[in-house]
C-alpha cells in the first residue's frame, strides 16, 4: 500500500472517529432532550459514514477490484437516522418533556413545569 | 388507497427496480454476469408481485435537478456537521434553541417525507412532528437567532427544488 | 502507521460508547435512554468496521449490517411503545 493511500485512509478514519466522539459528547453534555437529539442524528451519522468510506478505500486497496459493499451500511444509516430521530422526538413531544428555559416557541403551555 | 383495483403492469416501478438491482450488486459485492441476471430477476419479480401494496409510483420529472439536489444535500451534511461540532464544543449558555413551524407547500406524502428527512440531516435542525391537517412541520433548531429567516431559508433551499423535481408534472 | 491510527480511532469510539453508557444510566427520561441506545448502536457499527479493518477481515461487515438493521427496528419499536402504549396496532 502506498504512503499517500495510507494517509488518506488515516485521515478519513480519524475524522470519522472525531465526529462520532463529538456527537456522543453532545449527547452527554447538552441540557435538554431536544438539544441532545441533534448530536447523534448528525455528527454520529457522518462519523460512521466517513469511517465506512475509509474502510471501502482500505479493502479496495487490499484486494483486486472495488469492494463497495460497505456502502450499503452508509446508505441504510443515512436513510434511517432521520426516521429514528423523528420518532424519538415525537415520543418526547408526546410526553412533553421539560425544555431549556431559553427555548423559543415551546409548543405546549409551560406554566406547570412539573409534568 | 384510492384505487384498490390495480391493473397488473409488467414493469410497475422502474426506478425501484433499478435501485434494487443496484442494491443486490452491492450486497453480493460482485458484477459477474450471473449476479446481474439474478439481480435483474429479483428487481423485476419483487415489484411485480407486490405492486398492489404500493400506494403510488413516483414520477421523477427531472433527473438532472435531482442529482444537483442530492449533491447540495451531501455538501450541506458535511458543512452542517462542522457547525454542529463547533456548537456542541462551545459554550452551552450561548445556545439559543427554538421550535419553528415550517408551513408546507408540498402535497404528496413521499415528498413531505423527503423534506422532513433532509431537514433532519442538515444544519442544526431536527423534524420532530408533522401536522398534516394544519399543514406544517414542527422543527427544533439547536441555535437560531432569526426564526423567520431560518424558515425562509429551509423553504428556499430544500422545499423549492423538491417541489420542482417531483410535483411539477402532477396536476 | 495505519495500525496505530486504527488503534487510536478504536479508543476514541470506545470513549464515545462510554459517554453514551453514562447518558443511558443517568438519562432523566425514557426518550433520553432510547436516544442513548440508538447512538450506542451507531457507534457499535463504527467499532465493528474498525475492528474488521484491524483484523484484515471483511466478514465483520455482515455483523455491522445486522446491527444496523436490528438497532433501527429496536429504536422504532421502543419509541412507538412510548407513543401509543402498543407496538403493532
Residue C66 has pLDDT above 80, yes or no: yes
pLDDT at C82 over 90: no
Distance from CA of A113 to the nearest CA of C (A): 15
Best of A9, A16, A24 to mutate (most C CBs within 10 Å, chain C)? A24
ipTM of the complex: 0.85
Looking at the fold, whether B24 and B89 belong to one and the same domain comes out as: no
Chain A CB contacts of B78 below 8 Å: 46
**Cell matching residue B75:** 455538501
What sign does the CA torsion over A99, A101, A105, A109 have?
positive
Cell of residue B96, nine digits: 439559543
Q: Give a yes or no: residue B7 inside a domain.
A: no
Together in a domain, B28 and B92: no
B93 with B121, same domain: the answer is yes
Q: What is the pLDDT of residue B1?
A: 44
What H or E segment, with its residue span, contains residue C27?
Answer: none
Distance from CA of B141 to the nearest CA of A (A): 8
Structural domain harbouring B95: 63-166
pLDDT at B59: 66
Tell me the C-alpha distance between B107 and B69, whole Å: 19
Q: Where is pLDDT greater, at A43 or A82?
A: A82
Of B5, B29, B53, which closes a domain?
B53
Range from A98-112, B83-97, C33-47 carrying the lowest mean pLDDT: A98-112
Give the confidence band of C87 by pLDDT, cuts at 50, 70, 90.
Answer: low
**CA pair distance B17, C9, nearest whole angstrom:** 38
Contacts of C1 in chain A (CB under 8 A): 6, 10
Chains touching chain B through at least 3 C-beta pairs below 8 angstroms are A
Highest mean pLDDT among B21-35, B81-95, B123-137: B21-35
Q: Out of A40-54, A89-103, B35-49, which region has the weakest mean confidence (pLDDT)?
A: A89-103
Contacts of B167 (CB under 8 A, 6+ apart): B106, B107, B108, B111
Residues B90 and B33 in one domain: no
Class level of CATH domain C2-84: mainly alpha
CB contact under 8 A, B96 and A38: no
Buried b (16+ CB within 10 A) or exposed e, B73-85: beebbeebbebbb
- Domains of chain A, by residue range, sit at 3-95
Residue B32 in contact with partner chain A when CB distance is under 8 A: no
Q: Inform me whether the pLDDT recorded for B56 exceeds 70.
A: no
Q: Shortest CB distance from A45 goes to which of C42, C61, C75?
A: C42
The answer to the question of residue B9 being in a domain is: no
Query: Between β-strands B136-141 and B125-131, what pairing exists: parallel, antiparallel or unpaired?
Result: antiparallel
How does DSSP classify residue A104? B
Instruction: Give mean pLDDT, residues A16-30.
Output: 88
User: Which residue out of A87, A113, A114 would a mutagenesis test of the C interface target, given it has the greatest number of C Cβ atoms within 10 Å?
Assistant: A87
Per-residue burial over A61-84, b = 16 or more CB atoms within 10 Å of its CB, e = otherwise: eeeeeebebbbbbbebbbebbbbb
Amino acid at each position: 500500500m502506498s504512503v499517500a493511500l495510507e494517509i488518506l485512509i488515516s485521515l478519513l478514519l480519524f475524522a470519522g472517529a472525531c465526529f462520532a466522539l463529538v456527537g456522543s459528547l453532545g449527547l452527554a453534555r447538552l441540557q435538554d432532550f431536544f438539544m441532545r437529539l441533534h448530536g447523534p442524528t448528525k455528527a454520529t451519522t457522518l462519523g460512521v459514514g466517513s469511517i465506512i468510506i475509509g474502510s471501502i478505500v482500505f479493502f479496495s486497496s487490499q484486494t483486486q477490484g472495488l469492494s463497495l459493499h460497505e456502502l450499503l451500511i452508509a446508505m441504510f444509516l443515512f436513510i434511517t437516522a432521520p426516521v429514528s430521530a423523528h420518532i424519538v422526538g415525537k415520543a418526547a413531544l408526546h410526553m412533553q418533556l421539560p425544555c431549556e428555559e431559553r427555548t423559543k416557541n415551546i409548543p405546549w403551555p409551560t406554566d406547570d413545569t412539573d409534568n | 388507497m384510492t384505487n384498490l383495483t390495480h391493473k397488473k403492469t409488467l414493469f410497475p416501478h422502474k426506478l425501484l427496480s433499478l435501485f434494487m438491482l443496484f442494491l443486490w450488486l452491492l450486497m453480493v459485492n460482485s458484477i459477474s454476469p450471473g449476479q446481474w441476471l439474478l439481480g435483474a430477476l429479483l428487481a423485476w419479480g419483487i415489484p411485480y408481485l407486490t405492486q398492489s401494496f404500493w400506494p403510488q409510483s413516483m414520477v421523477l420529472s427531472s433527473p438532472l435537478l435531482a442529482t444537483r439536489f442530492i449533491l447540495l444535500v451531501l455538501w450541506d451534511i458535511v458543512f452542517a456537521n462542522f457547525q454542529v461540532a463547533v456548537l456542541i464544543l462551545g459554550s452551552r449558555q450561548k445556545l439559543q434553541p427554538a421550535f419553528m413551524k415550517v408551513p408546507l407547500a408540498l402535497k404528496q406524502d413521499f415528498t413531505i417525507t423527503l423534506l422532513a428527512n433532509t431537514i433532519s440531516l442538515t444544519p442544526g435542525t431536527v423534524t420532530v412532528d408533522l401536522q398534516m391537517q394544519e399543514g406544517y412541520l414542527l422543527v427544533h433548531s439547536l441555535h437560531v437567532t432569526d426564526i423567520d429567516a431560518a424558515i425562509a431559508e429551509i423553504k428556499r433551499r430544500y422545499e423549492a427544488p423538491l417541489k420542482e423535481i417531483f410535483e411539477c408534472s402532477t396536476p | 502507521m495505519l495500525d496505530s491510527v486504527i488503534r487510536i480511532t478504536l479508543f476514541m469510539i470506545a470513549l464515545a460508547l462510554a459517554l453514551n453508557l453514562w447518558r443511558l444510566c443517568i438519562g432523566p427520561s425514557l426518550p433520553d435512554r432510547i436516544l442513548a441506545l440508538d447512538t450506542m448502536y451507531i457507534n457499535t457499527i463504527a467499532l465493528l468496521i474498525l475492528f474488521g479493518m484491524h483484523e484484515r477481515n471483511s466478514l465483520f461487515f455482515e455483523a455491522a449490517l445486522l446491527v444496523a438493521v436490528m438497532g433501527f427496528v429496536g429504536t422504532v419499536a421502543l419509541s412507538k411503545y412510548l407513543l401509543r402504549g402498543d407496538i403493532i396496532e
